[in-house]
Amino acid sequence: MKKIYIPLTLLTFALVASNCSNDFINVDPTESIAEKDLLSIYNNDEGAASFVTAIYSKNLDWNMSSFSWNGLSSMTSDDANKGSDPGDTGTDKDKCDALTLDATSLSVLDVFEANYQGINRANVALLYLPKLDQANADLKARLTGEAKFLRALMYFNLVRCYGGVPIVDHVPLPSSQADTDMTLTRNSKEEVYTFIENELLAAIAVLPEKYPTTDTGRATRGAARALLAKVYLYQKNWQGIKDQCAAITGYTLVSDYATIWREVGEDNTESIFEIRGYAGKPSQGIEGYMVSQGARGTSGWGWGFNTPTTSLSNSYEVGDVRKDATIIFAGETLWDGRIVSPKVANPMYNEKAYVSNKKETFNGGDWETTKNIRVLRYAEVLLMQAEAANESGTGDVTGPLNKVRKRAGLANTTAVGQIALRDAIRLERRHELAFEHDRWFDIVRTGQAKEVMAADGKTFVEGKNELFPLPQKFITQAAGKSAQNPGYN
């Protein structure tokens, strides 16, 4: 009888191929039961939903959405410094900042491993949902779409960081050499993007436009379309972007940019997808996300990592409300009355990661707070529309762009011509999406990285730094089935 392993909490259910040689596909078992017993327990609507809730819960983990992800997606860029104290490296956040990561760096390992752990949970859900014949068929179809959306999001993170990676599209059997090879052999970047696109198209076909309030936060059809448009953005599929963005309906920009990242701004009219804690459990937030980025030192509340650069601060236009909504300045009084001492360790901090202990739900600790991470917003949909129209030479460029600028308190763009508008859209993305895990990938995908990083005093090596190294642990396990990215030993 086939055995599966179940961690003690249902919400972290995952199957383990116990003899699989790829550690990234495994999770530690705590309890095992026969498959027939599993199906008898979870063969109902609640059980079906729990398989997919387990995938969402992975996004709350420290190695998934917090310190290491900030290192790769933010501290590498010209928007952010390592921060903290000079002698506190954050294990390797100094290397993220200096673009000197190597295959043994913890951040490289964490992001790779975490996303595959999430993919494993998605594969488990997709394996067992069809077997739950007592669960509602429409619910199972929707849950399948959610699982595919989440798996696509995780592969999108992987392909942007590492290029081609193994496509593990089902739970590997320990007795199958073909399955072992699947987990250890890189697919091409193009194959990964095609896989992601197919996942999202399948999700779009079954996901609803909206949920009842009891299911707020689950992936919608709009989320799948917005992510697919973003996937097309990285491949310069301008028509695909236009088609998907045009089909996204029911969202509007909120009037006050600063409220988006506060508790009152969760799941607002602009929010398309967020990483959030479980309903009814507000203390179960993203592990360490707030405290690792909080002000350090006198009057501080955190470790002080991932701090805004002078380059970012100086790049805003006069009157742009996004500057003060994005950056905490030493010596300022915050929106909730908190006074930040001028003696904190760093001159600036990330306000989008701030949680008020006075005017928001606060559980008395700082490790797991109510802070949600906004993953997809309607403002980005507008900016993708503007970029696609400008790059393709057809469609409305300034209309969507000026909607974003107006909300920021700015006049319509004065840019004229494709090149000037291209620069304007890129700058708008920088200001609108600062500290939302896009800047590094944006400067790489648009070919600006070498010039931009040189202006920030960093050396970007073309042909190398477009990708991060694959973890040495994976390369060793692959034993020749996968090669390291260029430029890394």
Return the closest-CA partner of residue 289 out of 272, 305, 312, 271.
305
The set of residues, in sequence order, having a beta carbon less than 8 Å from that of 319 and lying 6+ positions away, is 409, 410
Residue 346 to residue 304: CA distance in whole angstroms: 7
Residue where the block lists tokens 């600062």 = 434
| Closest CA relative to residue 235, chosen from 391, 355, 117 | 391
At 147-160, the pLDDT tens digits run 999 999 999 999 99
pLDDT of residue 362: 79
For the chain (489 residues), the mean pLDDT of every run of 10, in chain order, is 30 34 51 75 93 93 96 98 97 98 98 96 95 97 98 98 97 92 97 98 97 90 98 98 98 98 95 76 77 95 98 98 98 97 97 94 81 95 98 98 98 98 98 98 98 96 98 96 96
Residue 178 CA from chain centroid, whole number: 30
Candidates 49, 14, 48, 10; CA nearest to 214 is 49
Q: Which pLDDT belongs to residue 388? A: 98
**CA–CA gap between residue 16 and residue 14 (Å, rounded):** 6
As given in the structure block, the two tokens for residue 464 are: 């190398």
- Report the distance separating Cα 383 and Cα 436, nearest Å: 14
> What 3-state class would DSSP assign to 120?
helix
Question: How far is 98 from 91, CA to CA, in rounded Å?
Answer: 13
For the stretch 140-151, what's the b/e string if a residue is b when 16 or more beta carbons lie within 10 angstroms of its beta carbon?
Answer: bebbbbbbbbbb
Non-local (6+) Cβ contacts of 350 within 8 A are 80, 293, 306, 307, 308, 326, 327, 328, 435
Burial 315-347 (b: 16+ CB within 10 A, else e): bbeeebebbbbbbbbbeeebeeebebeeebbbb
Scanning 169-252, the segments in alpha helix (DSSP H) are 177-184, 189-206, 221-233, 238-246
DSSP one-letter code for 302: S
Q: pLDDT value at position 22? A: 61
The C-alpha R_g of the chain, in whole angstroms, comes to 22
Confirm if 127 and 35 have CB atoms less than 8 A apart: no
- pLDDT tens digits, 430-471: 999 999 999 999 999 999 999 999 999 999 999 999 999 999
Q: Encoding tokens for residue 238? A: 């301008």
What is the predicted pLDDT for the residue at 26? 55
Six token digits for residue 226? 């917005």
The tally of CA atoms less than 13 A away on the side-chain side of residue 53 is 15
> Is 164 in contact with 191 (CB distance < 8 Å)?
yes
d(C-alpha 234, C-alpha 111), whole Å: 20
Structure tokens at 4: 């599966």
Q: What pairing do the DSSP bridges indicate for beta strands 305-308 and 80-83?
A: antiparallel
Ordered by start, the domain boundaries in the chain are 281-371
Local structure of 349: helix, strand or coil: strand
| CA 446 – CA 381 distance, rounded (Å) | 17
Q: Which of 322, 340, 320, 318 is nearest to 331 (CA)?
A: 340
One DSSP character per residue, 250-279 reads: S----S-GGGGGSGGGTT-TTEEEEE-PPT
Amino acid identity, position 276: R
Predicted local confidence at residue 138, as pLDDT: 97
Here the tokens at position 405 are 């600028």
Nearest to 345 by CA among 289, 305, 312, 292: 305
Is residue 227 a contact partner of residue 240, using CB atoms and an 8 Å limit?
Answer: no
